[in-house]
Structure 1
Amino acid sequence: MKRLPNLDPLRFFLASLVLLFHLPQLAANQGLPYFDALPIFHRGLEAVYMFFVLSGFLIIRIIYRAKIREAFSIKDFYIRRILRIFPLYYLVLGFGLLFYNVILPFLNIPFEINYTWKEALFYNVFFLPNVFAKIYEPGGIIEILWSIGIEEQFYLMIAPLLFIINVKWILRVLSILLLGYFLLYWTDVFEVLRKYTFVFFYLFTGGVIAILEEKKKLEFVKRKAIFPLLICVATIMYYITDIFMFEPLWLRSLLTCFLFGFFIHSLAFNNRGVEVNSKILNHFGSISYGIYMFHAIVLNAVVFLFLKLEILQNLDKTLTVILMLLLTFAGTILIAHLSYTYFELYFLKLKNKFRK
């Protein structure tokens, strides 16, 4: 299947926003200089939410197109997802557990561990890292896995559901699920959904937008350039200003569902011929999973250097902030590139055996 335009650079920018979100937090926690005075430094969670919309958009589109061809295999679908997600997920999980339970004690760096290895393995092996992160606060390297858990849970649910549904009913069923789950999520009766961030409605939204496009129901938004322009401007403003940071939260979530969904649609299908052809940005998008997964590890290493090396401790505060940012970005991109080239790519090539 041909890759849709502009989505790889989008992945990179979203992963970068998560990094920008976490860097000042860890620096501040360790007493180092930091800068977070701009709204863009506080949009890491919203970047993950757009990742969810994008994931739902792409995954449900793939399933829908396979259903049209009568070629959808649940087994092949899960094997492809396993080959993409599991190798890096378990690599980072294993390193994170080793880091907080072995490496930090060896370096005489205090860190409270309030879980057993059995609990850690239970929650993270059985696709509940979001619950584990909320209950135990096991440290940033492990806590970032919460979003991978949400996607894993969604895949477990959506593939069998769409397999048994007649293709002509998929849009209607997904729309009902989107509306119904959104209402359940924001009612006090099901507060547990909010407590552990089971934000499946973002993935449902992406799927609904994708199928509307496949069924040619969004042609009306392509007739004039003003629509994608407004969507793109509004999305950029969402991330660089505070004008959308209003209450109540349920209304903001409703807005972001469709703003993010139509933004992704505009980039992929309603871009008016505008396409990012940068090989570097497209490659950075290809390794964005690694950027997301490794950034907390690199960030901890950079902070450790600034805490321990005297030459770095004597730097000007502004220079410290800039240097920490550059080192974290450069180190994360380098490790993500090496991981993709020499580790992930082996498993990604195996996915081709499970495509029809």
Structure 2
Amino acid sequence: MVPIGDYVVIKTYFPGLNTLRLYAALSVVVYHFAAPMDWFGDRSYAGYRINYGFMWGPHAVSLFFVLSGFLIIYLLLKEKENTGTISTRRFYLRRVFRILPLYYLTVIVGALLVAIMYPLMPPDAQRVAASPGVWISLILFYFNFTGGRGIPLGHLWSLNVEEQFYLLCPQLIKWAKHIPRALIAVIVFKVGLQIALFML
């Protein structure tokens, strides 16, 4: 624990999780590079994935969700246990400086690529790219609800899910009087969000 002002920062490190993150990341990369071959009838990707032990892309993303949820909830619960409260201001500031600069840079670069590639894109992708709502959802982090996955930035839907989780999770745990109730509230929220994601 490291004291900062009136708060105590909980320093926790799980070495094994970095290995799992790397494994999931490589699986997602392999999936995005090789999946189109599978879609068009080339079954080599399935064999490649099995032979070299990579996960199916959607399963790897789910693993990321589990790891992120575990780490965030664990740290928040430990902070509440040790201090009696949660500094949501510090939590949000850390996420803002860690995620937003690179995220919005990615959106800007992606928008430029879409503008350049627009004449070559299929009609469905052009309709998605021309929709202001899609770009607004990217900026405001609800892209996972718009269905705008036909553009090069489609992979950002998963980060939007994580940001929604980060937004509500600290408040749920902070306001809960008992940690088990807080944990149940977070689980219910996460399950509900996943159901909404796949229904829309």
- TM (norm. structure 1) is 0.45
Matches within 5 A, 1:175-214: 175=184, 178=187, 182=191, 192-196=196-200
1:110 aligns with 2:124: no
Instruction: Give the root-mean-square deviation of aligned CA atoms.
Output: 2.9
- Counterpart in the other structure of 1:11: 21
Residue identity in the other structure for 1:4: F
Q: 1:99 aligns with which of 106, 113, 116?
A: 113
Q: How many residues align?
A: 182
1:146 aligns with 2:160: no
Pair 1:86–1:34, CA change in 2 (3 A): farther
- Counterpart in the other structure of 1:53: 66
- Counterpart in the other structure of 2:141: 127
- The unaligned stretches of length 5 or more in structure 1 are 197-356
* Distance in structure 2 (CA, Å) of the matches to 1:127 and 1:180: 17
* Distance in structure 2 (CA, Å) of the matches to 1:110 and 1:176: 42
1:158 aligns with 2:172: no
Q: Which has the higher contact order (CA 8 A, sep 6+)?
A: 1
> 1:69 Cα shift?
2.5
Residue identity in the other structure for 2:16: N
- Counterpart in the other structure of 2:87: 73
* Distance in structure 1 (CA, Å) of the matches to 2:60 and 2:105: 23
Residue identity in the other structure for 2:139: V
Residue identity in the other structure for 1:10: L
> 1:118 Cα shift?
3.0
* Distance in structure 2 (CA, Å) of the matches to 1:179 and 1:128: 19
Which segment drifts farther, 35-44 or 50-59? 35-44
- Counterpart in the other structure of 1:324: none
* Distance in structure 1 (CA, Å) of the matches to 2:73 and 2:112: 36
- Counterpart in the other structure of 1:277: none
Deviations 1:254-302, CA, capped at 9 Å, x for gaps: xxxxxxxxxxxxxxxxxxxxxxxxxxxxxxxxxxxxxxxxxxxxxxxxx
CA contact (8 A) 1:24 1:34 kept: no
CA contact (8 A) 1:104 1:111 kept: no
Which segment drifts farther, 5-14 or 111-120? 111-120
Task: From the CA coordinates, give the structure whose radius of gyration is larger.
Answer: 1
- TM (norm. structure 2) is 0.77
> 1:160 Cα shift?
1.2
CA contact (8 A) 1:96 1:142 kept: yes
Pair 1:75–1:172, CA change in 2 (3 A): same
